[in-house]
Amino acid sequence: MDIIKTEGLEYAYPDGTQALKGISIAIEKGSKVALVGNNGAGKSTLFLHFNGTLRPTRGMVIIEGKPIKYDSKSLINLRTKVGMVFQDPDDQIFAPTVKQDVAFGPLNLDLPRDEVDRRVKYALKSVGMEAYADKPPHFLSGGQKKRVAIAGVLAMEPEIIVMDEPTSALDPQGSLDIIEILDELNADGKTIIFSTHDIDLAAMWANSICVLNEGKIIKHGTPDQIFADHTMISETGLRLPTFVQTFRELKVRGISGGDSPLTMLNFVESVSKPFDVLKARCTIAGADVCAGENVGLIMKNGTLCTIRVDADLNAKTTAFGRVMHNAKAGEDIVVSEITGTITPKTGEINIVPIPRIIEGGSRAVDLETIRAVIAEHSPHKIGAMGTSAKVVVRKAGIQCDFEVDVIQSSILAALRGLNVMVFATGGMIERVIQKIESNNKHSGQEIKFSSLAIQASL
Ligand SMILES: Nc1ncnc2c1ncn2[C@@H]1O[C@H](COP(=O)(O)OP(=O)(O)O)[C@@H](O)[C@H]1O
Ligand SMILES: [Mg+2]
């Protein structure tokens, strides 16, 4: 179902600037959409139509199948459904304290006081601004104000979240935190739309990307459709994602092959040609290895290792190389004249479901059980997805390897032969499983996975 639709949307500002020139766009419920385009393309103007702040000069905006009505009652209703974070937080924040500002929306919904408090606390925690609850917003930095504005929208728990350049004023960690929150909300069924200049982020995060230029939609499609159109990319002054650029450089040098990758995962797969020289760990125990010796190469626990060709019959070596210098077991060694292909035995991904906030969240989990499950499986890498899962891992004092881009990082590690444990909340569990299954289908390398139910301790 299209949750937002516009038909022939035109808008001229009072000074005559024609900012939108016939925009027809359809946004599917539950999708993650990135809007990209140069300064002045009309991104902010378009967004301001989604919650009725601006009224089209021509055409219309349809939310959940119904055209927007512009009487004040309908608009109040609309804004509980469409939460908007403005590009400039100063347009949004006005209460005397941070806490009051975030509470403003929920209070206007006539929610009970304790529900308002719960939402405000959750929203401020999500954006890492709890410590600033009683501060006046005008003392905050630009990035902090942005976080407060985002908290204000989160506290409304709207069905559709629209954010105008949410990460532009944030530091790298702050941006990743926001993206993680958006992913979690999306896994719970919310539709998320944001504008950004960060092409890498759009490529990594969005299911669909919409390119806007001079008030018109140039193209709306999946990231692969968008980034396959190199002419459009250069004509609109955008750029390709970094991994696509890297791929192209490697391809002309004969190292990468096939079609342009869509993700880091595809990019790694595209490096098909064996390298001439590799660094490997010498695991030949007992005797030293000598320059000129022929060795087998295998991937073991994520590390490329050399083994004796003749002795280690069980290892079923499919790749070989020539040792460049003398070494002892445990030392790194340079190997040349590589033949064959190195196909590691893939690792496993164990998913541990952590209850959502509404199911008791991290409080419903016994930390001893968490430590026990880790001790039992002794994973090489640990990841956490979602607020509850992150809190659990932190409370249990566990060092987490993956906190952002967890699914892709876990699959990449498993493909190198590492065992991964992922703590995940709610709808994110299905996401992990879907992604592993689709990767297994495409790559032909079978990553085993399982869901480990743990005992709740409420
Ligand atoms: N309040 C305004 N009055 C007149 N023109 C405006 C106003 N706001 C934006 N514009 C113009 O409308 C066009 C689209 O602007 P905007 O939607 O802010 O673009 P973007 O968000 O993509 O940078 C630009 O040409 C901009 O100068
Ligand atoms: Mg803008």
Q: What is the mean pLDDT of the chain?
A: 89
For residue 73, give the CATH number of its domain.
3.40.50.300
Neighbours of 117 (CB within 10 A): 14
Q: Rounded CA gap, 265 and 68, in Å?
A: 41
Among protein residues, the one whose CA lies closest to atom 25 of ligand 1: 40
**Tokens (6 digits) for 322:** 């020539």
Structural domain count, the chain: 3
Residues 199, 58, single domain; the answer is yes
- Same structural domain, 294 and 440: no
| Res. 56 pLDDT band, cuts 50 70 90 | very high
Question: What is the model's pLDDT at position 126?
Answer: 82
Looking at the fold, whether 45 and 73 belong to one and the same domain comes out as yes
SS percent in the chain: helix, strand, coil, step 5: 40, 25, 35
Q: What is the pTM of this model?
A: 0.80
Cα 40 to ligand 1 centre (Å): 5
List the structure tokens of 4.
Answer: 């937002």
Tell me, yes or no, whether 257 lies in a domain: no
* β-bridge partners, 350: 421, 450
CATH number at residue 352: 3.40.1010
**How many A from CA of 189 to the centre of ligand 2?**
26
Q: Is residue 260 part of a domain?
A: no
Q: Are residues 142 and 8 in the same domain?
A: yes
- Supply the pLDDT for residue 340: 83
Pseudo-torsion of CA 415, 416, 422, 425, nearest 10°? Answer: -40
CA 212 to centroid of ligand 2, rounded, Å? 11
Residue whose tokens read 């946004």: 27
Please answer whether residues 66 and 1 qualify as being in contact, where contact means their C-beta atoms are separated by less than 8 angstroms: no
Q: Is residue 457 part of a domain?
A: no
**Phi, psi of 49, deg, nearest 5:** -85, -25
In terms of residue numbers, what domain contains 222? Answer: 2-240
Q: How far is Cα 344 from Cα 359, in angstroms, rounded to an integer?
A: 39
Asked, for residue 270, whether it belongs to a domain, the answer is no
Categorize the per-residue pLDDT at 458 as very low, low, confident or very high, splitting at 50, 70 and 90.
Answer: very low
Sheet with 66-67, side-by-side order of all strands: 18-28, 2-12, 58-63, 66-67
Return the residue whose CA atom lies nearest to atom 24 of ligand 1: 40
User: Looking at residue 456, what is its pLDDT?
Assistant: 55
Q: Quote the distance between the C-alpha of residue 454 and its chain's center.
A: 26
Give the residue with greater pLDDT, 15 vs 369. Answer: 15
Of 9, 17, 84, 165, the one to substitute when testing ligand 1's pocket (max ligand atoms within 8 A of C-beta) is: 17
Judge whether 158 lies within some domain.
yes
Question: In terms of C-beta density within 10 A (0-12 exposed, 13-18 middle, 19 or more buried), how is residue 250 classed?
Answer: middle
Which residues are CB-contacts of 364 (< 8 A; sequence separation ≥ 6)?
355, 456, 457, 458
Q: Is the CB of 42 within 6 Å of ligand 1? A: yes
Final residue in a domain of this structure, among 340, 360, 395: 340
Q: Dump the DSSP string for 48-76.
A: HHHTTSS--SEEEEEETTEE---SHHHHH
Q: What is the model's pLDDT at position 85?
A: 94
Do 187 and 230 belong together in one domain? yes
Residues 6+ apart with CB under 8 A from 375: none
Whether 19 lines ligand 1, by a CB cut-off of 6 Å, is yes
Give the separation between CA 42 and CA 62, rounded to whole angstroms: 19
Task: Identify whether residues 45 and 149 lie together within a single domain.
Answer: yes
- 156 and 14 in a common domain: yes
Question: Are residues 406 and 372 part of one domain?
Answer: yes
List, for residues 370-428, the tens digit of each pLDDT value: 999 999 999 999 999 988 898 889 899 999 999 888 998 999 899 888 999 999 987 88
More confident residue, 258 or 449: 449
The enclosing domain of 314 has a CATH number of: 2.40.340
If DSSP codes are grouped into helix, strand and coil, which group holds residue 318?
Answer: coil
Q: Which of 190, 224, 240 is the last residue of a domain?
A: 240
How far is it between the farthest Cα atoms of the chain? 85
Co-location of 100 and 6 in the same domain: yes
